[in-house]
Amino acid sequence: MKNLGNYYGATLIDTTDLVDTSNKNRIILEYYKNKKHSLKKVKLKTSYGITVVKKEYKEDKVKLESNTIKQISTNEAKIKNIIKVLKTYKVTPIALNDVLTDLLKTSEFQEN
C-alpha cells in the first residue's frame, strides 16, 4: 500500500456499532493526515488532507477500502481536530466526503 501520510490513530467497529446489519466481521478504521508542499509566490506552502482506511477481516482475507481528500486546509491543528471527530464517530471511507463537507460548514471548522 502506498504511503498514506502520518498515522493518526485507529478505531474498531464492533458488533454494537453494527446493529442494522448482520455483518459480524472485525472492522478497523485507520486515520491518516497527509500533506502537500507547494510553492506560492516564492513561499513554501503546506496544505493538509485526510485519508481513511477501512480494513474488514473476512475469514483469511482482508478487504481494504480507502478514501483520501487532499488539500483541505493549511491549518494543521484544524486537520488534527477534524481527524479526532472522524475517529470519535467512526467515519468510514464511504462517508468521509459527506461528513467532511458538513463539518467544514460548522463554525468550529471555519477558516479564520
- pLDDT in single tens digits along all 112 residues of the chain: 567 789 999 998 876 666 555 667 788 999 999 988 887 777 888 999 999 999 988 888 999 999 999 999 999 999 999 999 999 999 999 999 999 999 999 988 876 5
What pLDDT sits at residue 112?
53
Q: Give CA–CA dist 87/1, Å, rounded.
A: 21
| Predicted pLDDT of residue 43 | 80
What are the residues facing 44 on neighbouring strands? 39
- Closest of 50, 56, 110 to residue 84, by C-alpha: 50
- Cα separation values, 30 from 22, 46, 47, 56, 82, Å: 22, 23, 20, 11, 14
